[in-house]
Amino acid sequence: QFPFGRRLPCDIYWHGVSFHDNDIFSGQVNKFPGMTEMVRKITLSRAVRTMQDLFPLEYNFYPRSWILPEEFPLFVDEVRMMKDSDPSWKPTFIVKPDGGCQGDGIYLIKDPSDIRLTGSIQSRPAVVQEYICKPLLVDKLKFDIRLYVLLKSLEPLEVYIAKDGLSRFCTEPYQEPTLKNLHQVFMHLTNYSLNIHSGNFIHSDSVNTGSKRTFSSILCRLSSRGADVKKLWSDIISLVIKTIIALTPELKVYYQSDIPSGKPGPTCFQILGFDILLMKNLKPMLLEVNANPSMRIEHEQELSPGVFENVPSPVDEEVKVAVIRDTLRLVDPQKKKRKDTQQHIESFKNKANIRYTYFMCYRCQTLEHVSEATKELLDAGPGDRREYDTPKSAEDALPSLCLKQVFPKYAKQFNYLRLVDRVAALFIRFLGVKGTTKLGPTGFRTFIRNCKLSNSNFSMASVDILYIDITRRWNSMGIDHKESGMCLQAFVEAFFCLAQKKYKSLPLHEQVASLIDFCEYHLAALDEKRLLCGRG
């Protein structure tokens, strides 16, 4: 820790909250620039909605959402229309202030007119979302899942998911929402920070009882009830990959602005906390993504009134220690160097034994898991056992990874969804000035000209009008006043407009894909021409 500033460059920088240090020129930082902004409730809803416009079926894991205050009239209209077409539909909605956490300021409503559209909603924008009324219950209680996901690299995209997570339970038996129980937070909200204050909260030393359990213990229970746990996992993996795909385009814009290519700079990785709710039919639904998930492995216990003590929480320890350990293993700078010389590998062997011994002792002391560790050894197949018997390196001596790679492993299945990523690449190409995140009118004109998008039906004057209209609207939403110009979402909207104009009869995702191909083709031709001219 460097409370008074850092002098020497480091291999790994572990920032507490966000990426904030522009004086880092090498090594790896545990936060991506812009991630905190990207996972705020409104920004996440917008990013997912863009994907829902393109691929509605693939992105139906996120509840229907509206952004307040700007979409309040739309919310009222759409709900009225849906009620008219299905009079038996009796929805509930959940209102969540943007940037809130730990259930802060959240409330449930039955009708759009119940929204507290007081002065505060103007100053504190929010997301209103369809409430999932039929969650899966265990012991009659609602619960959600916190899964840890490592975004190891943005370009190329590399994503890992932890094999185990946490299940956080409500502390009042669940009932479907009625006007009478809407305000009962211990029944409807699964936040640990809220339920800990309920008299019913159970701290447990075991990982499969109490108000916080491991996700694997829930899976065991579901499996014993005959549920298709494999399908559930594959749905969760697909939810995580699709959500990351929705976030990457804007993250790339932030990245090139804070860490311009061609200059010395660090690379980034980040542990994200995914909050997922299982519906009764076992369909996973995304609630939110946390850029800075709590890594605490202790909880507070009130010994006597007003006297608190931190005590270890075995459930948190079981899940979180493994996540941090594996993250460090995956970003370990020694990993690359280790390949270099045999000598290096030899010296590492010694360290491996020390670290292995330390690790086992640590587990003995804290989790009394030595018997389990032994079981792991015995259960391991012949290949695995060899790994434990004769450790070749530090890594071989550690238990198998809890973080499993899902991307690029399953890239083939998901790459067709990465359209907005390609639109973002066009946007970044025309940004011009390094360090910016917004496109000026000249950049937009150059994009249109270089991609040969203007013609007799679409003059350069119309191009300017399109730019001004869309940019003005996005800037009036008051997202980022620091820079003027067109942000990525505004560019994406303009791009979709152009695609619809050019390829009228196709579905939106095909229109957009066709326009991307068209632009990329013309830009490649231009690059080739410039290269030839340069040589000439």
Tokens 């956490």 correspond to: 101
Residue 466 to residue 533: CA distance in whole angstroms: 33
Query: Smallest distance from the beta carbon of 191 to ligand ADP, in angstroms?
Result: 5
Q: Which of 410, 411, 407, 453 is nearest to 430 (CA)?
A: 453
Does 37 participate in binding ligand ADP (rule CB under 6 A)? no
Does 207 participate in binding ligand ADP (rule CB under 6 A)? no
- One of 52, 167, 190, 327 touching ligand ADP (CB under 6 A): 190
Check: CB of residue 371 under 8 Å from CB of residue 415: no
Residue 310 to residue 318: CA distance in whole angstroms: 17
* Size of the residue set binding ligand ADP (CB under 6 A): 20
Query: Smallest distance from the beta carbon of 63 to ligand ADP, in angstroms?
Result: 4
Does 91 participate in binding ligand ADP (rule CB under 6 A)? no
Q: Which stretch binds ligand ADP (CB under 6 A): 187-195, 227-235, 491-499, 511-519?
A: 187-195
Q: Which stretch binds ligand ADP (CB under 6 A): 7-15, 126-134, 363-371, 447-455?
A: 126-134
* Phi and psi torsions of 69, nearest 5°: -85, -15
Quick one: 131 or 496, whose CB is closer to ligand ADP?
131
Check: CB of residue 407 under 8 Å from CB of residue 157: yes
Q: Which stretch binds ligand ADP (CB under 6 A): 99-107, 146-154, 227-235, 366-374?
A: 99-107
Check: CB of residue 438 under 8 Å from CB of residue 483: yes
Quick one: 28 or 92, whose CB is closer to ligand ADP?
92
Q: Which stretch binds ligand ADP (CB under 6 A): 183-191, 391-399, 420-428, 518-526?
A: 183-191
> Which residue type, as a one-letter code, is found at position 320?
K
Does 132 participate in binding ligand ADP (rule CB under 6 A)? yes
Question: For the window 365-404, what string marks contact with ligand ADP as x by the rule CB under 6 A?
Answer: ----------------------------------------
Check: CB of residue 300 under 8 Å from CB of residue 309: yes
Q: Which stretch binds ligand ADP (CB under 6 A): 128-136, 298-306, 467-475, 513-521?
A: 128-136
Residue 149 to residue 241: CA distance in whole angstroms: 10
Quick one: 134 or 351, whose CB is closer to ligand ADP?
134
The CA–CA distances, whole Å, from 242 to 15, 79, 355, 408, 417 equal 26, 27, 37, 13, 8
Does 106 participate in binding ligand ADP (rule CB under 6 A)? yes
Quick one: 108 or 154, whose CB is closer to ligand ADP?
108
Quick one: 103 or 210, whose CB is closer to ligand ADP?
103
Quick one: 74 or 526, whose CB is closer to ligand ADP?
74
**What's the DSSP call for residue 214?**
E
**What's the DSSP call for residue 176?**
-
CA 34 to chain centre: 12
Does 33 participate in binding ligand ADP (rule CB under 6 A)? no
Does 96 participate in binding ligand ADP (rule CB under 6 A)? yes
Does 294 participate in binding ligand ADP (rule CB under 6 A)? no
Check: CB of residue 219 under 8 Å from CB of residue 163: no
- One of 258, 275, 318, 326 touching ligand ADP (CB under 6 A): 275
Does 103 participate in binding ligand ADP (rule CB under 6 A)? yes
Q: Which of 85, 104, 88 is nearest to 96 (CA)?
A: 104
Tokens 């587990």 correspond to: 363
Residue 150 to residue 334: CA distance in whole angstroms: 19
Quick one: 126 or 352, whose CB is closer to ligand ADP?
126
Query: Smallest distance from the beta carbon of 286 to ligand ADP, in angstroms?
Result: 9
Both tokens of 158, joined, read 């590399």
Query: Smallest distance from the beta carbon of 279 to ligand ADP, in angstroms?
Result: 9
**What's the DSSP call for residue 100?**
-
Does 101 participate in binding ligand ADP (rule CB under 6 A)? yes
Quick one: 52 or 190, whose CB is closer to ligand ADP?
190
Q: Which of 229, 233, 313 is nearest to 276 (CA)?
A: 233
State the burial class of residue 332 (Cβ atoms within 10 Å of its Cβ: 0-12, 13-18, 19+). middle
In sequence order, what are the residues at sequence separation of 6 or more whose Cβ sits closer than 8 angstroms to the Cβ of residue 114? none
The CA–CA distances, whole Å, from 304 to 190, 299, 342 equal 27, 15, 58
Quick one: 96 or 212, whose CB is closer to ligand ADP?
96
Write b or e for each residue in 127-142: b if 16 or more Cβ atoms lie within 10 A of its Cβ, otherwise e: bbbbbbeebbebeebb
Q: Which of 296, 272, 297 is nearest to 286 (CA)?
A: 272
Residue 299 to residue 211: CA distance in whole angstroms: 13
Residues in 47-76 at the binding interface with ligand ADP, rule: CB under 6 A: 63
Residue 216 to residue 232: CA distance in whole angstroms: 12
Query: Smallest distance from the beta carbon of 154 to ligand ADP, in angstroms?
Result: 24
Quick one: 287 or 488, whose CB is closer to ligand ADP?
287
Quick one: 107 or 414, whose CB is closer to ligand ADP?
107
Q: Which stretch binds ligand ADP (CB under 6 A): 71-79, 127-135, 202-210, 437-445?
A: 127-135
Q: Which stretch binds ligand ADP (CB under 6 A): 96-104, 201-209, 332-340, 468-476?
A: 96-104
Does 107 participate in binding ligand ADP (rule CB under 6 A)? no
- One of 37, 164, 250, 288 touching ligand ADP (CB under 6 A): 288
Alpha helices, H only, 433-507: 441-450, 460-476, 488-502
Both tokens of 114, joined, read 């119940």
Quick one: 145 or 428, whose CB is closer to ligand ADP?
145
Residues near ligand ADP, by CB under 6 A:
63, 94, 96, 100-104, 106, 129, 131-132, 144, 189-191, 275, 277, 287-288
